[in-house]
Chain A
């Protein structure tokens, strides 16, 4: 996998002061085993061949770079391009990571797969690759998310995986992650944990980034072919940060491209009811890594609020915290109502229904296109499609089926 001059994390899994391995001792050997396996395989020709072959034949890569003509006209200046991760098999970027990690699991001889999921997209993507290899699969999902993403819950079950609804804490993504970690501690010998974002202890943030960075690598070529230069800006939503990291990473040492991550502003940053740790959080340790967090002054993790289950998480991948602190990427927030408006707008103008997570990235085009010149090329990472969110949107619009 291509690396660039920002060759992080270091040997201890740190991106500057962020990252690391803050886990119970029982998991240390499993993380070491994973790291050794990954380091041994990642540059091996047969592994690369298998990974890229699966990406093209099973996932359907490369995903197109599509010119959004009506959306561009709508904003009146600049050109808006869409990196179509929504067209991947299972409908989101999440499959890039699970296709890669299941190869690691296979190589390590693990018989049992576990994962956490928020919006259910990572649960679907994990259940999909597990089904393909005939492996036992357990998906942990907050009870709250089981309700709002019922379509994906059913998809996961159809794929033969078991869904465990998690009631503890806030019954959302962070609690699903807690429960997946507890499962892993208990069944560590035969179980592979496929984390769904660039979060968790080292080496996960690195592995998930590397598998997703195929998105950014394709974009470099597609940009040359489509508009003969590098993008002026790339916009991606940030929950844990995997779709953003995947498209940002190959551009870190291309300084002319602005990297903009959009967090979930919920009811508004000033209300405190949001899920935007990079905008309104402080560094702390959660789920195995040091990163920006939403926490109170006692170090307790705060409840989050977002209309989008996939962004409803109080932490963020450590590499984003680092990119923020060194000033290489910008992080903004978009509120629920703005994201919902963008959801409808993109659906009506382009015939593309984005996931509510992705709608956050679209919603930032308003302010962004105003400040850019007419010649600007802006790429939005369309992290996923919106079918899974139809129930949520209908409910907000007061429609009953």
Chain B
């Protein structure tokens, strides 16, 4: 059983909701990313999602797009991200790490992806959910397929996608890109209930979650929440001072709200 499944099972056994925090590798630089990853864990984060920078991130809103651009200015490659995780694992071998990105960067480094045991899952934004990573040559048993289901996913697709997922199911809260803000709680509740009919996997809710109150409402109808743009925004605001403590406070507050 890998770190992701272990962590999610433990949370379930203790009746706890998962907190997943996102950042972009190399924004503002790799040393900061490493510090932030440890800070995340100290602040109650259960799963770390690392954004792999790509020149054409079609699912991202302006906040995360700019973070990708900043990381690319630092020439961050997938190889460097794997090296970063090696460093992280010297201190932390428990916290699951999910890489989130676009197919073209992963298939360009299939050898890295195939041989890793320090990464727990890959979430590819631009592959259709009824397919799994195996369809793209990623067969590494350590790597879970996390599939996305969105408000526009039809019922028959929900069933197909649920069957194909292994780590958790990522429910995209809204029609839109990351960082949007038009949560419709009733729709989200309904759709997550529909997913639950087809799968025993935990279903986590992401996109559009900013405040502790958003997180609380969503945790009530899901198995956990994923927070991205608001963290990335705070990282950017502190990128000169490297004073990231405020992000820790923010995450603690979210963790409190969903507990």
Contact = CB atoms under 8 A, between A and B. Distances in A.
Given A22-B128, A174-B56, A285-B126, A189 B175 contact: yes
Given A25-B128, A285-B126, A299-B109, A178 B152 contact: no
* Most central of B57, B77, B126 by chain A CB within 10 Å: B126
A91 to B, nearest CB: 30
A25 B55 contact: no
B107 interface: yes
A301 interface: yes
Given A25-B129, A29-B153, A30-B152, A298 B77 contact: yes
B153 A187 contact: no
Interface in A272-319: 284-288, 293, 295, 297-301
Interface string A159-188: 000000000110000110010011001111
* Most central of A25, A287, A295 by chain B CB within 10 Å: A25
A24 B157 contact: no
Contacts of B56: 169, 174-175, 178, 286-287, 301
B59 A300 contact: no
A22 B126 contact: yes
Interface in B150-174: 150-154, 157, 161, 172
A387 B154 CA distance: 47
Interface of A: 21-30, 32, 168-169, 174-175, 178, 181-182, 185-189, 284-288, 293, 295, 297-301
A288 B108 contact: no
Contacts of B58: 23-24, 178, 181-182, 185, 287
Given A24-B59, A185-B176, A299-B108, 19 more contacts: A24-B148, A25-B149, A26-B152, A28-B152, A29-B153, A29-B154, A178-B57, A182-B60, A185-B58, A185-B177, A186-B175, A186-B176, A188-B152, A285-B126, A287-B56, A298-B77, A298-B108, A298-B109, A301-B55
A352 B108 CA distance: 45
A285 B128 CA distance: 13
Interface of B: 54-62, 65, 69, 72, 77-79, 102-109, 125-129, 147-154, 157, 161, 172, 175-177, 180
Contacts of B72: 300
A285 B151 CA distance: 25
A300 B150 contact: no
B104 to A, nearest CB: 4
Contacts of A286: 56, 104
24 contacts: A24-B58, A24-B59, A24-B148, A25-B148, A26-B176, A27-B152, A28-B157, A168-B69, A169-B56, A178-B58, A181-B58, A182-B177, A188-B152, A188-B175, A189-B175, A285-B102, A285-B126, A287-B56, A287-B58, A295-B108, A298-B79, A299-B107, A300-B54, A301-B55
